[in-house]
Amino acid sequence: MSGNSFGKLFTVTSFGESHGPAIGCIVDGCPPGLALTEADIQIDLDRRKPGQSRHTTQRREADEVQILSGVFEGKTTGTTIALIIHNTDQRSKDYGDIMDRFRPGHADYTYYKKYGFRDYRGGGRSSARETAMRVAAGSIAKKWLFERYGVVIRGYLSQLGPIVAETLDWDEIANNPFFCPDASKVQPMEDYMDALRKEGNSVGAKITTVASHVPPGWGEPIFDRLDADIAHAMMSINAAKGVEIGAGFDCVAQKGTEHRDEITMQGFLSNHAGGILGGISSGQEVIVHTAFKPTSSMRLPGRTVNLDGEAVEVITKGRHDPCVGIRATPICEAMLAITLMDHALRHRAQNADVTTDLPDIPASP
């Protein structure tokens, strides 16, 4: 458990490097009896897959997942589910130029200091390629949460660099390569990304993830609050630099009368809390915003040092996402799903017998 596992009862442990033979994960804790095929998992993998538009890395990976265990006659058995994706389009030679120099803003310096050596091939373990397995594992959690509790988990890109999505049309998201929910912003994003690519630069993005129909009462007190675990989950994604629940940093300037979500038996009157109070779900939509930084790999030269401590310039050629946030939507959904499923199981363990007289308060009307 040295950092490569997530979840206490629904646990994902991953392996693999960007340029090794395969990446994979073991999912432990999925209850038995869930209908599951590779096709179920492939749907989300294909949404994250690189090379689907000119705005993401041109590395071509089929990302075909294989289930190695834990499923028998089309259903989960309750034992560990192993998933594997073979890497097919590695090009280590792309990295020859930078193998002795550190990329500013990249993990290569800190990995070197931690581990004492350099896996210069595309980031090795620190590569965002690892997130494919999060998506694969998350798709199992998504399916179970929906089938068992009706929970629906969806996400979208709410901001790309300076361009903010201003309307939320869930049906629009699959129509454009950005997961943008605002059709009017798709062309501006296309233009922005084309200019950015020409410039050789990169840019940040914000992803919003929403879980609907989460029952009230999921979460834990004190340290393993649902929001704390979600923050852990989201901040663990490559390039994430900020996480907000509900109103997030807008809370700072809010007064209590504005922030609190008043309650009626017909529903909460607002949802500034983002569906979580005291670390426990309220039954409202769980709303999470995650900030992604601009990729450090870019064609514009930067000042750095090499392994000998000499001042040098670095340019990253290779094949990179100029905006990692674009492909982050399915990853955020996956991490939210994994976190919620973990808490669903924790809730069953401890609170299976709890009943209350008061009906659940509906989500915001």
Provide, rounded to whole angstroms, the least separation between the CB of residue 306 and a copy of itself.
Answer: 9
Region of 53-61, 158-166, 168-176, 178-186 interacting with a copy of itself (CB under 8 A): 158-166
Residues in binding contact with a copy of itself, number by CB under 8 A? 165
Question: Is 54 flagged in the annotation as binding?
Answer: yes
Select the residue interacting with a copy of itself from 46, 62, 64, 78 (CB under 8 A): 78
Please report, as residue ranges, which positions from 228 to 267 form the binding site for a copy of itself (by CB under 8 A): 228-236, 238, 240-249, 251-265
**Rounded distance between C-alpha atoms, residue 13 and residue 130, angstroms:** 11
- Which has the closest alpha carbon to 341: 9, 1, 5? 9
Q: What 3-state class would DSSP assign to 27? A: strand
Q: Are 325 and 204 in contact (CB under 8 A)?
A: yes
Given the complex with a copy of itself, which of 7 and 50 has the nearer CB atom? 7
Residue type for 304, please? Answer: T
Site for a copy of itself in 94-123 (CB under 8 A): 102-117, 119
Q: How far is the CB of 260 from a copy of itself (least distance, A)?
A: 3
Contact map string, positions 206 to 225, toward a copy of itself, x by CB under 8 A: x---------xxxxxxxxxx
Hey, how many other C-beta atoms are within 10 angstroms of the C-beta on 82? 17
| From 91, 187, 307, 317, residue interacting with a copy of itself (rule: CB under 8 A) | 307
CA end-to-end span of the chain? 43
Total Cβ atoms within 10 A of residue 271: 18
Give whichever of 174 and 358 is closer to a copy of itself, judged by the CB atom.
Answer: 358
Q: CB of 281: closest distance to a copy of itself in angstroms?
A: 7
Measured at the alpha carbon of residue 266, what is the angle toward residues 262 and 272, in degrees to the nearest 5? 35
Q: CB-based contacts of 2: which residues, under 8 Å, 6+ apart? A: none
For residue 248, give the nearest of 264, 221, 230 by alpha carbon: 230
61 near a copy of itself (CB under 8 A): no
Interface with a copy of itself includes 346 (CB under 8 A)?
Answer: yes
Q: In this complex, which beta carbon is closest to a copy of itself, that of residue 171 or of residue 274?
A: 274
Residues 174-213 that bind a copy of itself (CB under 8 A): 196, 201-206
Cβ contact 272:251 at 8 Å: yes
Is 318 strand, coil or helix? coil
Within 280-299, the residues that bind a copy of itself by CB under 8 A are 280-283, 289, 291-296, 298
**Calpha distance 345→351 (Å, rounded):** 10
Strands (E), 265-310: 267-268, 276-277, 280-281, 286-292, 302-305
| Residue 14 within binding range of a copy of itself, rule CB under 8 A | yes
Cβ-based nearer residue to a copy of itself, 96 or 104: 104
Binding site feature residues for NADP(+):
48, 54
* Sequence ranges of the binding site: 48, 54, 125-127, 238-239, 278, 293-297, 319
